[in-house]
């Protein structure tokens, strides 16, 4: 019986698609991952400095950007981000990224798709810290050699306190 379990497990492991971490990334896929990491770092800096232009200048999202924040059922774009960022950021003391875990990155010509998890901590001005996990899908378009964020989908779940294992 144990041999059968091992054989089935190995067979499933061979047949199921791997994650971006275990697969070899092409140069273009690595560029997309690097750009996403830069965007997350810029977002942290933007929140800390209460200056959305830091994120905008780094990520260069397209003007027609559209995203779906599934947790609250809202579609948003750059105009909504510009309007809501400062009132939100003024209530936040720190935004720190704990981990970005890519699952898959696909590049087709000048378009890229990226599926990943993001774990981060948000500390409000009262000192309350919430650890959250995003399940994300993002779409990028390469323009003049730069990967620009054009859209996506995100679902956020609070998962506990910083340093805790996911519940």
Q: What is the DSSP letter of 65?
A: -
Q: How far is 42 from 61, CA to CA, in rounded Å? A: 13
3-state SS class at 3: helix
108-115: average pLDDT: 98
Fold of 19-160: Nuclear Transport Factor 2; Chain: A, (3.10.450)
pLDDT at 20: 42
Structure tokens at 123: 């500390």
Q: How far is 86 from 104, CA to CA, in rounded Å? A: 32
8 pLDDT higher than 70? no
Domain ranges in the chain? 19-160
Q: How far is 9 from 15, CA to CA, in rounded Å? A: 10
Kindly indicate the confidence band of residue 162, based on its pLDDT and cuts at 50, 70 and 90: low
Closest CA relative to residue 150, chosen from 62, 28, 83:
62
Q: How far is 77 from 83, CA to CA, in rounded Å? A: 10
pLDDT digits (tens, 9 = 90+) for 52-69: 999 999 999 999 999 988
Q: How far is 56 from 68, CA to CA, in rounded Å? A: 18
Q: How far is 84 from 129, CA to CA, in rounded Å? A: 21
Residues 6+ apart with CB under 8 A from 90: 50, 125
The pTM for the full model equals 0.80
Kindly indicate the confidence band of residue 160, based on its pLDDT and cuts at 50, 70 and 90: confident
Write down the mean pLDDT value for the chain: 86
């Amino acid at each position: 019986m144990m041999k059968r379990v091992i054989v089935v497990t190995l067979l499933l492991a061979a047949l199921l698609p791997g994650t971006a971490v275990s697969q070899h990334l092409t140069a273009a896929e690595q560029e997309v991952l690097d750009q996403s990491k830069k965007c997350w770092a810029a977002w942290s800096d933007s929140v800390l400095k209460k200056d959305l232009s830091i994120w905008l200048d780094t990520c260069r999202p397209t003007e027609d950007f559209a995203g779906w924040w599934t947790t609250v059922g809202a579609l948003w774009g750059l105009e909504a981000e510009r309007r809501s960022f400062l009132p939100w950021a003024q209530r936040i003391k720190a935004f720190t990224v704990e981990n970005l875990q890519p699952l898959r990155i696909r590049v087709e010509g000048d378009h890229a798709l990226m599926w990943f998890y993001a774990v981060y901590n948000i500390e409000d001005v009262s000192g309350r810290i919430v650890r959250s996990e995003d399940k994300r899908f993002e779409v990028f378009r390469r323009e003049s050699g730069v990967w620009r964020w054009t859209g996506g989908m995100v679902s956020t779940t609070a998962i506990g306190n910083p340093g805790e294992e996911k519940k």
